[in-house]
Amino acid sequence: MSFAQAQTETTDAAKGRLTNNSCDLRALGVLSFYSRTDVAGDRNLQQSLHNLIEYSSRGLNCIKDSVSPPGGDSEKRKLLIIFNGGAGVAALRNKDYARAQSYLRAAVNDDPNQVQNVYPLALAYLQSTPPNNVDGLFFLARVISLAQYTTGQAELRA
């Protein structure tokens, strides 16, 4: 089974779970993750960006209202990273740098070792008007430090 087939099957299953529970956090996490992957690959960009905004925003709203996800605090933290990272990348793509900084900073605070969130955070600081060079260059240096331990460069795409 190819990645595309697996993604389609997993996405369909997650959408099916949302018909039963519109705040199924695991399903929203899967859909946010795959939407972000599609945005990074420029696949059907406008629809993927729309989906990323929808699923990440819904996930953040649902997680605020939930007592605790099925996997407890550890899973909640992982889901927050997915939702904040997704919302931040969507904001960055839409050139809403202040919102991108807010969401991505939250994701990086939860896991400072995820290059896929640290790099877009650096971009959000450096591309804002006026640019925040101090924070932007700090996070860019962080990406370089993390990249030494990363096997592939694909993670550097926002």
Residue 151 has pLDDT above 90, yes or no: no
CATH code, 3-156 = 1.25.40.10
Tens-place pLDDT, residues 82-138: 999 999 999 999 999 999 999 999 999 999 999 999 999 999 999 999 999 999 999
Give residue 4's pLDDT.
Answer: 79
DSSP per residue, 93-137: HTT-HHHHHHHHHHHHHH-TT-HHHHHHHHHHHHHSSS--HHHHH
Task: Dihedral sign for Cα 60, 110, 108, 98, please.
Answer: positive
Q: What does the pLDDT look like over 31-80, one tens digit per residue?
A: 999 999 999 999 999 999 999 999 999 999 999 887 666 678 889 999 99
**pLDDT tier at 7 (50, 70, 90 boundaries)?**
confident
Name the token pair of 10.
């997993």
pLDDT at 6 over 90: no
Question: What span, in angstroms and rounded, lies between the C-alpha atoms of 158 and 117?
Answer: 8
